[in-house]
Structure 1
Amino acid sequence: MNEKQWLGNIQVNTYTASRQVLDDLQHRLELKQKTNLFFLNDHAFNIAQKDADYLSILNEADLLLNDGLGVKLGAKLWGIRLEENLNGTDLIPRLLQTCAMNGTSVFLLGATEDAVRTASDHLKAQFSESLIVGCRSGYFEDEREIIAAINQSGADILLVGMGMPLQEKFIARHAQELKPTLRVAVGGYIDFASGMKPRAPKLMRRLNLEWLFRMALEPRRMWRRNVVGHLQFFIKVLSLKKQH
């Protein structure tokens, strides 16, 4: 089992490669070992500094994976070497490919009605018609009805894309009653899978510059998160290191 190390006041897993993560997830699915999988980027880190409940949820996650250059550099300050960027947008398609081969089923929860249904159609066409057994928009009022729909679908995996911290809080709040073995907070993956939101070119992704691409597309929303947010993240990480 992969161990966690402290990056400031948050414990992050220290897998050295995505292949290790995928093998671990497959093992957990085979054992039907209930697992909450979340991702830590500097935006999540910053939210957690102001939201004690979210901080606890991240630290109680079964798996918390590093996402982005900021976390990789911040981890170095704490003596943690993170070899590979384990962001969900790249990891999830590889997980789904394995799921399609093994007959593992998935439920999508998040984004708009149009986006989640289009994503469902695209993923069925790309991987397998039987892969996606249900999908619902992330905009709902009755959580009980949503939980019932997820459980009745018989899905092995639940992908929740409602943005931070809503998606992680939803999973944590209903962890005991959700039947899918693996529950993953996937951020904007459903929008990407639908084709309604473009991803950065592969070169930018390899250089850990996807944040720059997204900021160019949504400058007003992403400027504060990426420019100011990166600075806030490093100030807090350094501050916690001095207190350590």
Structure 2
Amino acid sequence: MKPSLNRKIYSGHQFSEIRNNAFLQEKTIAISFVNPFSYYEVQKSDSLIDGIDYYFSDGALLCMLHNLFSPKISRASFDYSSIAKPFLEYVEQHNKRLAVIGATSSENAKAVEVLKKQYPNLNIVFNRDGYIDDIEPVVNQIEALEVDVVLVGMGTPYQEKFCVEAKKKLTRPMLLITCGGFLTQTSIKPDYYNPIIKKLGLRWLQRMIMHKHVRDRVIKQYPAFVINYLTHMIFKKR
């Protein structure tokens, strides 16, 4: 039977409990997030569905559609309007050894600089860009540094593929968590979203205005996603 992505999408209210439990398990746990763009990118690959332990919906649209057919979920996204701040505070307070992987070299370096200013005791022991041809040396490095948490910002499906492959190769437990464009956004501005935008839930609008590739996704791909999702779920129910 083809694995169902919907069954692996958890509610944002469960994130803290899942995060806490992940550190108690003696195995590597991978967490990622899906939105109307990345949903079908992940759905194309059984290995990405099976290989990631927990998915969360990082957009209101996907939550709304999901809740029409499945147990209700709330949003969780790796940005400062959602779980990024409490997650990074947890990592800092518990002195977890953090690796930051993703974005370009310059964006990564700037993001790490910003994070260290925001969280002075954040123990970042490794960082590098997300353009990785051979995962083996990276896995060896983070293992040698006894990393506890790996923050991965490469975009879908690359960040999920990295997590799935890393899980296979790692010999010590770690928490792998994707963050999409968080590193790039943090390199642009410490708190990327305007406070009014966050209050009104219009993060997608700010991203549309600032980034052409986001405009293309929203205009061309989101309407198709809604139609495809509803059609699939309605016929599946029948």
Q: Shorter-chain-normalised TM-score: which range? A: 0.7 to 0.9
Per the TM alignment, residue 93 of structure 1 is displaced from its structure 2 partner at its CA by 2.4
Q: Deviations over 1:88-115 (max 9, x none)?
A: 1231221110111111111001111122
Q: Is the 8 A contact 1:157 1:183 kept in 2?
A: yes
- Deviation >4 Å, runs of 4+: none
Aligned to 1:3: none
Aligned to 2:9: 13
Q: Is 1:43 equivalent to 2:33 in the alignment?
A: no
Aligned to 1:210: 203
Q: Is the 8 A contact 1:151 1:180 kept in 2?
A: no
Matches of 1:170 and 1:222, distance apart in 2: 23
Structure 1 residue runs without a partner (length 5+) = 1-5
Q: Is the 8 A contact 1:159 1:184 kept in 2?
A: yes
Q: Is 1:229 equivalent to 2:221 in the alignment?
A: yes
Structure 2 residue runs without a partner (length 5+) = none
- Please tell me the root mean square deviation across aligned C-alpha atoms, in Å: 2.3
TM-score, length basis structure 1: 0.85
Residues 1-244 of structure 1 correspond to what in structure 2 (within 5 A)?
10-15=6-11, 17=13, 20-49=14-43, 51=44, 53=45, 55-82=46-73, 84-89=74-79, 90-178=82-170, 179=172, 181-195=174-188, 199-219=192-212, 221-244=213-236
Per the TM alignment, residue 204 of structure 1 is displaced from its structure 2 partner at its CA by 2.0
Per the TM alignment, residue 161 of structure 1 is displaced from its structure 2 partner at its CA by 0.6
Matched letter for residue 81 of structure 1: K
What is the count of residue pairs matched by the alignment? 231
SS at match of 1:88: coil
Q: Percent same amino acid at aligned positions?
A: 22
Matches of 1:130 and 1:15, distance apart in 2: 27
Per the TM alignment, residue 66 of structure 1 is displaced from its structure 2 partner at its CA by 1.1
